[in-house]
Structure 1
Amino acid sequence: MKNDKLLLKIIIIFIVLFSFEDGYAQLGFCNGNSGDPIFTETFGTGTTQTPLPAGTTTYTFSSATPNDGFYTVSSSTAFFDWHDVPDHTEGDTNGKCLIVNADFTAGEFYRTTIIGLCENTSYEFSAFLINLSRSTGCGGNNIPINVRFEIWDDTDTTLLASGDTGEIDAQATPNWEQYGLVFQTLPAQTEVILKMRNNGAGGCGNDLAIDDIVFKSCGDNVTIEDTSNESDVFICETQTPYNLNLQANPDGTIFNTYAYQWETSTDGINWTEIVGETNQNLNINVNTTSLYRVKVAEDAINLANALCNVISDEFSITIVPTPSAPVSNGDITICENENQPLEVTVPTDITVNWYDAVSGGNLLEENNTSFSPENEGVYYAEAISINGNCISNTRTAVTLTFSQSPQVFDEAVFFCQDESVEISANINNMSYIWNTGETTESITVSTEGVYTVDVTNLDGCTVAKTIEVTQLDAPIIAEVYTENNDLIITTENVGDFSYSVDGIDYQNSPVFENLEGGRYTVYVRENSDCGIDTQTFIHFIVPKFFTPNNDTYHDTWRLKGIEFYASSEVQIFDRYGKLLFYRKNKPISWDGMFREQPLPTSDYWYVININGQRRVGHFTLKR
């Protein structure tokens, strides 16, 4: 049996050696879940330089400036022309770091033993390094730093993992850089040896500082999900007891085998193991708000040691109490033309849906503590928890009532030029505010424009009435003239006018067609009795023909209206220029006779002089 164990250990050593043969030059960090540090070296604090414990280094301690092959532990790196940088540890006052001036010969410059590890467990080693040389130093030919990390078993005979930083050149602005290495302990192994070696030669450059050496356990990232792939759930208290079915999902980045122990907590601080729950899945009935997680290790023996296992993400189940019905902010009475929402109050983790019935009914508004309905009536607010969508047992009724607003109607009002007009809200027992500043129901205005009045009833409801006031101007006759047989009137202004030639009968058109010649008084009036204008006009017409056949129609060539002129003279000629008729300052009516003999059908010419104005033309005599 003893020989079998020895053979097994030799086989494992060979497996480990083979596994890391290609990894000796590979650095890296834990790809899974890094635990809390189980070893930390920050090199302390203080303003004095101190040596490392005996056996930690082969270099020589310097309490002053460290030359090649020397080291110091100091809160200051201001040696030679090096960068003066603070240590890496956060929160330190006068924090120290290990400062190394590399020896001319490459080799080991730091080692330490790490104890308290767990067997068959993966770990992550990490440390921060910085190149202290300035990029301008050594004539720009600084030797770069290059450090090798090695993890050995406690016998210092088996190399578990190693890796090189590669060349780290001097920089104008230095930065601490972290380097890491992942390894796994062997069966029955609880200690390892960390070694750091200088790969570069000494000389000008190759000057470095090291800080914050840390060892952590390394395991898989473990998530927890329920059957709906959720990482937390909210359950209404009406759904309890709730059957919770969880599964732990390690990502497989580190562990090859898995051991589980489920835990529960009510505060996230104090955790209790769930007896017998050591499988990947957890299936239990839940009645209270609680948290769940699982400890995971590669070996069941490591589940009891916090340094040897990893903890999954937490899964929370929250039992949500049934929310109370919303609290009404009060029923609302508003005017018809106003908009004021109904409102209720709920806690911050509760939202509100509005319905038209005390139960069931139609959803009118969701996720809103206020609601603005279009119609008055009773509306119902239901509380719903944001987490879990838990519904209140009852709904809160809130009533909206409309107060009737004053009934007013816009108007168009007219007034005559040089007059005024009274305009009114036309509704009693209200309060009034005109845009003129007046506060009576009616006001008198003499300027056209748009007037408004705010009318408010006893309930405080206000509406606005608009009155457009327009001035109507009296007509002004511009011209009266004869065109053919028509009398035509024009005005200087426009308006709702009607026209007359006798002051009795009016028409909408300013044209009086085929009006018999004569003297007329024309009238133009504004149809809303806002004025009238008159003018006398002689409508003088020269007939184009006449038919002296004694049928009483057009028996004479008569110039009606000529008698109203102060002076007139009329001459009629035949086509040869023979004077046939002459009158002066007398009415004209020619019967087509010359020397008591009827003249034949033909065209005849006239010359008319009226008040010094001469008119010439011709007309036709038809038999």
Structure 2
Amino acid sequence: MKGFVLVLIFSLFSLGSLHGQIEFCTGNTGDPIFTENFGTGLTNGPALAPGTTTYSYVNGAPSDGSYTISSFTQYYDWHNTADHTVGDTDGRSLIVNASFTAGEFYRREVSGLCENTTYQFAAWVLNLLPSPNSCPNGGIPINVRFEIWDITDTQLLRSGETGPIGAMTAPLWENYGLVFQTLPGQNEVILKLINNGQGGCGNDLAIDDISFRSCGDRLLLEDEANETSRIVCQEDGATTVQLEATPDFSVFNTHAYQWQESLDGINWADIAGANQATYQSPPLLSDQFYRVKVAEDAVNLANDNCATVSDIYQIEVVPAPLPPSGNPLTEICEGEIGVLQAVVSAGERIDWYGQASGGNPLLSDNREFSPPAAGIYYAETVDVRSGCLSTTRTALELRFVPPPDVEDETLDFCQGTSAFLSAGYVGGTYQWSTGEMSPEILVREPGTYTVLVTNRAGCAETKTIVLEEIIIPRISLVRSDHREIQIEVAEAGDFEYSIDGFNFQNSPNFPDQVGGPYLLVVREKNGCGDSRLNYNHLVIPRFFTPNGDTQNQEFTIEGAAGLSQFRLRIYDRMGQLVFETGDPGIRWSGLREGRPLPSSDYWYVLQADDQVLRGHFTLKR
């Protein structure tokens, strides 16, 4: 900008010095008259205009007495940091390596000022030297002196300095400024920044965002509720505000006003006829920004270089937030604590109610709610900043689900077969102790089985099934004890017995049976099967009396007629064979070689088909 002179001076002070006369406007400032942010880009430069500085431009690392303009700061062992300008991408700053000799560093003129007007100059400064570093004693600190002169460069209007800024462990941009007033008839000034110090190890800095603004009263902009902004809900309809600007008379003695409006807070337009300290807005249905431009004289309102602007008053019209989203039905198991959950966007909260509209919240500002009982509850969105509510509430139901209704069982199955075991519940998931996951399983072994049944709500119950095996009868031995048939089985069970296949009894013993063939049947009472055996019942006498009385005169064996193999041997007490025959129809009268044997006990060995029978009988005379 033509006519603006900026000079930088670096001076070495003791580390204990205070910043000298650095100050900022305590009131409101105007829009920037001049701003230097050195642009953006990954390449260095361009160099400053001729006459702006006595330092040499380099496209790279500046040595003592030179500078560069770059987005890269990590030359030598300096800090690696971005420029100061907010929102920049690859923003540049002025990077300086101080000269060994003091002198004017940077100069520019500014024109177009208004006479008798207060202004603020400001710049951001950064010491590039890190701490610790390789310089002796921590390096030379930077110190920038700011001076504002009249255009003849003979009258100093204002000055100040940063004071010594030493090396820092992390890069820190710091803001410094001056406030001054133009003289009558004065509309140009010179701004100098001067280096009075020495170059060497240290005294390396970056400068960015140099600005120049008008300075005026501190202006309080409030509505009728003494608020500096307002947030309203779109659902409440149009709104109006009564705004009032109140200056503190710290700079201006008189005040001229021009109210301005904006849709974005950036681009402003004057409001025709709005030139008083108060302003009544029209009905508003959307966002609106207001500010007021102020000068000591109405003539200066047309020149932005001579006027200041108030802080911005914003009316923000907030649309109703969306209702919360969440699972409309939450099912949990009986005995557990139920939790309803809902989701809203950032900057919104949830209040919970027991009805679809009205009433007091059961719980505020929580995205989870644990109801005391099952039922339907309602979640309402509240915009945190505005307090605006969703137009409807979201209904969320909590339902307590009982665990699966299953009962333990004791079952049985027939030996040698298989059995189906059922969980006894439809529509769940299943985990059997066998590892299977179906509602039913087929097993072949007795034992205890369990199945964990889980319903759709995740509620689980364990069912236990005791499976017992029913033994199938197996005839292991049959005895003919004289006229009694005795049946033995291999394993005990719930059996019944028969010797004809039709008539059954619980006892395995059948007394008073005549000799002869029988069909022996042992069956399991639950129908699991039977065991059958064709058996020839032999009735062997326990004694006989061949004494001529016609009663029991001969030794005979009942039931032997059907045998295919028969051999009978009879022995006396001495073990001598006294009789032998292969005739099943034996009728022995107690003779040996035609002579009667004496009364005594005799022993026999009978080979009857596949069995050998041994015993004794008595012969009585």
Q: Give me the TM-score of the superposition, normalised by structure 1.
A: 0.48
Q: Give me the TM-score of the superposition, normalised by structure 2.
A: 0.48
Q: Higher RCO, 1 or 2 (CA under 8 Å, sep at least 6)?
A: 2
